[in-house]
Amino acid sequence: MSAPDLSRITTIEDLRVVAKRRVPRMFYDYADSGAWTEGTYRANEEDFQKIKLRQRVAVNMEGRSLRTTLVGQDAAMPLAIAPTGLTGMQHADGEILAARACAEFGVPFTLSTMSICSIEDVAAGTGGHPFWFQLYVMRDRGFIEALIDRAKAAGCSALVLTLDLQIMGQRHKDIKNGLSTPPKPTLANLINLATKPRWCLGMLGTKRRTFGNIVGHAKGVSDMSSLSMWTAEQFDPCLSWADVEWIKKRWGGKLILKGILDVEDARMAADTGADALVVSNHGGRQLDGAVSSISLVPAIADAVGSRIEVLMDGGVRSGQDVLKAVALGARGAMIGRSFLYGLGAFGQPGVKRALEILYKEMDVTMALCGRTQVDKVDQGILVPGTYPA
- Residues with a known catalytic role: 282
Q: Find out whether 83 is annotated in a ligand binding site.
A: yes
Say which residues have a Cβ less than 8 Å from residue 195's Cβ, sequence separation at least 6. none
Q: Find out whether 314 is annotated in a ligand binding site.
A: yes
Q: Find out whether 316 is annotated in a ligand binding site.
A: yes
Q: Find out whether 22 is annotated in a ligand binding site.
A: no
CB contact at 8 A, 235 and 270? no
Q: Find out whether 289 is annotated in a ligand binding site.
A: no
Specify which residues 8 forms β-bridges with.
none
Q: Find out whether 155 is annotated in a ligand binding site.
A: no
CB contact at 8 A, 115 and 98? no
Q: Find out whether 136 is annotated in a ligand binding site.
A: yes
For 97-135, letters b (16+ CB in 10 Å) and e give: bbbbbbbebebbbbbbbbbbbbbebbbebbeebebbbbb
Q: Find out whether 344 is annotated in a ligand binding site.
A: no
- The residue ranges of DSSP E strands in 151-254, in sequence order, are 158-162
CB contact at 8 A, 377 and 365? no
Q: Find out whether 336 is annotated in a ligand binding site.
A: yes
Residue 145, Cβ neighbours under 10 Å: how many?
13
Q: Find out whether 317 is annotated in a ligand binding site.
A: yes
Do the strands 276-279 and 68-70 form a parallel or antiparallel pair, or are they unpaired? Answer: unpaired
Q: Find out whether 129 is annotated in a ligand binding site.
A: no
Shortest CA distance to 90 belongs to which of 63, 65, 124, 115?
115
Q: Find out whether 208 is annotated in a ligand binding site.
A: no
Q: Find out whether 16 is annotated in a ligand binding site.
A: no
Distance between CA 83 and CA 71 in Å, rounded?
Answer: 16
- Would you list which residues are annotated within the binding site for glyoxylate? 30, 136, 171, 282, 285
